Structure 1
């Protein structure tokens, strides 16, 4: 018995007959993606060359300096171990719980100036100048000249700022330490300025690397004149910014790991300035019950 011929089916052709010479595509070279597009790189000041040295090339080896460092860190390690037996931050537990006022920074000697770093746009080619010295009555005296003329580097469009920032406290072997202000709700300043508006910046420890430039800021208005003014700023008033840009997604300041505090002047008013600081502290204001002063966006709002 013979089978009928299937003449109505089209002729089938193999892929090898269509492309007999080349079965696979040629290898495509990897695209050169900039490092900044993959992960946020370190900030480079405009007009400054990039430092391409390896990490071990930036280390300066000195025997005497190394021995002094070992002695210093062993002393700090002994202090850290003894403070734990006394209580939090070296205070008895009852005193720590009932504490309502604390002076964190004050200027009572030349050694207190080493806890601060002063910077201005002169570092990027600007014309502003800022200096910090000890005042006549054991106060921190910040003074200088503000200039909004941008440097001629072809990159910077705006200029004119001066800032003063505290250094982060370090423990033994350069371990990072933080200020714990969870028992307080208000920042207390005793200052004397020349009438210029300043910006108070607080930096807290973050859990992700892309948040390392986050700052919580609020305004400090000095009235000028010879009289001191006591300024109390609740922590609920501080708003979140990242590299100078105010963020839409706001959340309150976490007070358990405070790194630094700083003061920035950038009011675009060229000329001399001065700010005298007696002390910087924190306090517990029972009359202030506000949790956060700004609107918080929630994906699933509570009904």
Structure 2
């Protein structure tokens, strides 16, 4: 027996669509967020979202542009004059016989402009850090409160750090400039802390983009109390880390292209802290002959 194929009539389709519109809530069509093209950068959990165009914070004033041009041409003139005198503007003989060099000292408000402080507040934490000049404007005084409570964003598991880091040196027209410390082998500090352990980090120039978070670290143990302590740390003791993790493939610090140096506190001991720095320098210790304190992989081992 032949049965004809049953098909739905257009009236039935219209009736079903009307029922769906009456039963289901109205859903607006999806719209693209504002500036969706320029929001590709990663934003840490807890960091507030800035709904601004990239050019809004920039000051396009004529006076600022004129001061910038004047500053860069002054730096360019200094670069040309230093080349005639010797490396870094010093005579060649003085540069070869140099055994000590003060890299950073704090003798006025302008010396603090070369440093930047940061804490876990950038990821939603609760730590606080401040930087100011010490007594008689002769030292750098770093103080604050450490709080290891992680932010409640559902992603961040650990928190509690405060950091002081030097700025990247710049040549004329904002070109990168590096500290050449290849003539020295020891880091010399004069500090006064409260007994907390700090982490010293040295960042050097990298050749690949995935190495931008590489850093050489070593520990600074402060004694506490009212007395200053002179700390000398050989560069051979610094070990390589990436995003805070110690790497298996170790190699010595590239002293000829040093960019920045920093101090980090993350000992998970909540409470106030303070660190006072007189100067940061380097020296040549002829009694220290160690090239590197850690095991390195030999790509072509000797037989």
Please classify the TM superposition score into its range, dividing by the shorter chain length.
0.7 to 0.9
Offset of residue 57 of structure 1: 6.3
Offset of residue 297 of structure 1: 1.1
TM-score norm. by structure 2 comes to: 0.83
Q: Is the 8 A contact 1:143 1:275 kept in 2?
A: yes
Aligned residue in 2 for 1:193? 193
Matches within 5 A, 1:143-292: 143-292=143-292
Higher alpha-carbon deviation: 68-77 or 57-66: 57-66
* C-alpha separation in 2, matches of 1:166 and 1:91: 23
* C-alpha separation in 2, matches of 1:145 and 1:56: 35
Number of corresponding residues? 263
CA deviation string 1:83-139 (max 9, x = no partner) = 111000000000000000000000000100000000001222111100010000410
* C-alpha separation in 1, matches of 2:206 and 2:109: 32
Q: In the alignment, is residue 112 of structure 1 matched against residue 100 of structure 2?
A: no
* C-alpha separation in 1, matches of 2:66 and 2:139: 34
SS, match of residue 200 in structure 1: strand
Aligned residue in 2 for 1:29? none
Offset of residue 55 of structure 1: 6.0
Aligned residue in 1 for 2:302? 302
The change in CA–CA distance for 1:247 and 1:53 in structure 2 (over 3 A counts) is farther
Offset of residue 300 of structure 1: 2.1
SS, match of residue 259 in structure 1: strand
TM-score norm. by structure 1 comes to: 0.83
Q: Is the 8 A contact 2:120 2:160 kept in 1?
A: yes
Aligned residue in 1 for 2:141? 141
Q: Is the 8 A contact 1:47 1:155 kept in 2?
A: no
The change in CA–CA distance for 1:50 and 1:239 in structure 2 (over 3 A counts) is farther
Aligned residue in 2 for 1:12? none
CA deviation string 1:39-78 (max 9, x = no partner) = xx96643223677977666644222111110111111111
Offset of residue 238 of structure 1: 0.3
Aligned residue in 2 for 1:76? 75
Q: Is the 8 A contact 1:197 1:267 kept in 2?
A: yes
* C-alpha separation in 1, matches of 2:184 and 2:131: 29
Runs (4+) off by over 4 Å = 49-59
* C-alpha separation in 1, matches of 2:201 and 2:42: 19
Cα RMSD after superposing both structures: 1.7
